[in-house]
Amino acid sequence: MKKTTQVSDPITEPSTVESPSRRIGLAATAFDMEGLMTDFPNATELQKFVYDQTGLVLNLKGRANRVKYQVALDTLNGIPPDLEFLGSENPYVDKNDLVPVDAMKEVPAQSQEILEAGPLITSFLTRTFPHPDPEWKSTGQKCDVVFRKYYNGIITYEILGPISTRAVGTRVNKFGQSTPEKIVWVDPRTGEQVIRTARGGLTAIGTRLRAYMQAMKVNKSNAWDTWIDRDFVVIDAAGGSDNPWGV
C-alpha cells in the first residue's frame, strides 16, 4: 500500500493595504475667490454656476465685483445670501427668447353712486350676450354679464368674463422657430357700471342693453321686466303680513 501524506495549506496573515494619501487636501477643494473670478468673468456665468451648484438664483448683475463675487463665494460655501441678492428668474433663460405678455388691465372700482345706492334688491346673470371683442364674437363666443338693481332704483351691469389670451404677430427666434411677437389679454371685464340712474334715466349703453333684454321673451313678458327691473315688496310682521285685509 502507498502512503498518502496530506499537506495543509500554509496559514497566511491578512495583509493591510494602505490607501494612498490625498494629493489635494480637503481645504484646497473649497471654492476660492480667485478661482471664481478667473473662471466666471461676468455675472451671468457666475449666476449659472451658483445655480448649478446650489439651486439658488442670485441677482448679481450691476453689483460691484467685490460684492457679487463675495456673495457667490459665500453661497457656494453654505452661507445663505441676503434677500436683496436673491433672484427669481432661471439664469439659463434668455429673456430675448421669451414672448412678452402685456399686463392685464385693472378693473374699475365701484363708483360712489353705486356705494350709496343702498341694499341690493336683485341680480341676474346671463350668458347670452355676444363677446364684445370682434374676433371672439365672430366665432360665436359669449360673455358673462350680471345685472344688479339697488334699493334707490339704479340698475348696473358688469361683464365678468371670460378672460383669454391672443397671440399677436410672428417672429423667428434664434432656433429658427416661429413664435408670436407678443401675447395680449382679451379681457372684457368692465367693473360694475351704472346704466340707469336713481331718477330713471338710461345711459347710452343702458338703452342698448335694455332693448337687447326686452327682445328676449319670458312667457308674456320679457327678460328685462321679469329678471332685471323688478321690485319686491317687503311687509314685516308689525304691518300685519298675516292679514292682508288689515282688519
pLDDT at 94: 74
* Mean predicted lDDT score pLDDT of the chain: 84
**In this predicted structure, what is the pLDDT of residue 119?**
93
Amino acid identity for residue 43 in this structure? A
> Greatest CA separation found in the chain?
144
91 touches 61 (CB < 8 A): no
**What is residue 186's predicted lDDT score, i.e. its pLDDT?**
95
**pLDDT for 24-55, tens place per residue?**
454 555 788 888 888 888 888 888 888 889 88
| Joined grid coordinates for residue 115 | 356705494
- How large is the average pLDDT for residues 143-162? 96
Residue 220, pLDDT > 60, answer yes
Determine the pLDDT at residue 26.
47
pLDDT of residue 22: 53
Mean pLDDT of 204-212: 95
